[in-house]
Structure 1
């Protein structure tokens, strides 16, 4: 676990790999709960019987479910204990190169792509690559942006 206590420490880490999270199994219960929370009940996510004959051979996680796990997976790798507020500012890029079949395990590789000074403090861009166990392509690649205020 990498702990950042100062904004200077964050700046010095720009361009570095921070580490890899633990594996997380994506189960049908999590997928169903996400479907209920978002109203996205497309059969490829929630209809186990129909999905067996579908394009993926089973149900798959929503892409946005995978993306929503970025903060939790990232929290296993690093923490920002810098003074001041830490604000989610947005996402520069998100891609879902490979579906996550229910029952598969995922984990995140995290690096700090960039840290720039802005009038309010620092803007940190964090690259998350969500790997699927046994697959060559990742489930998700995302660049999140965090504002760090002094």
Structure 2
């Protein structure tokens, strides 16, 4: 559900490739009843440049309408591969 909600929360453009490294610190503090309205609150936790690109961690908090506790909190890890890496040729 997080990738679908994230599409409406933000976009990452101008990269050769986005590599999904998965989720970290996944928690389910509350049950999300069927038919509930939810929204994603995305917060940038870190952006660390590396040899192959920039590793970003974005915390997703899935809020439930009318609830004081989120249904899910998870850190999505993505590698942003630039169009051209310094010192390396690409196809």
* TM-score relative to the length of structure 2: 0.85
Structure 2 CA distance for aligned equivalents of residues 103 and 91 of structure 1: 25
Corresponding position: 1:123 with 2:55? yes
Bigger share in helix: 1
Aligned runs of 1:1-150 on 2, under 5 Å?
Answer: 69-150=1-82
Q: Which runs of 5+ in 1 are unaligned?
A: 1-68
Please report the RMSD computed on the Cα atoms of aligned residues, expressed in angstroms. Answer: 0.9
Displacement of 1:83 in angstroms is 2.3
Q: Deviations over 1:25-66 (max 9, x none)?
A: xxxxxxxxxxxxxxxxxxxxxxxxxxxxxxxxxxxxxxxxxx
- Secondary structure of the 1:79 match is coil
Instruction: Give the ranges of 4+ consecutive aligned residues of structure 1 lying more than 2 Å apart after TM superposition.
Output: none
Query: Which structure exhibits the higher relative contact order, with contacts defined as CA atoms closer than 8 Å and separated by 6 or more residues?
Result: 2
- Secondary structure of the 1:73 match is helix
* TM-score relative to the length of structure 1: 0.53
Bigger share in strand: 2
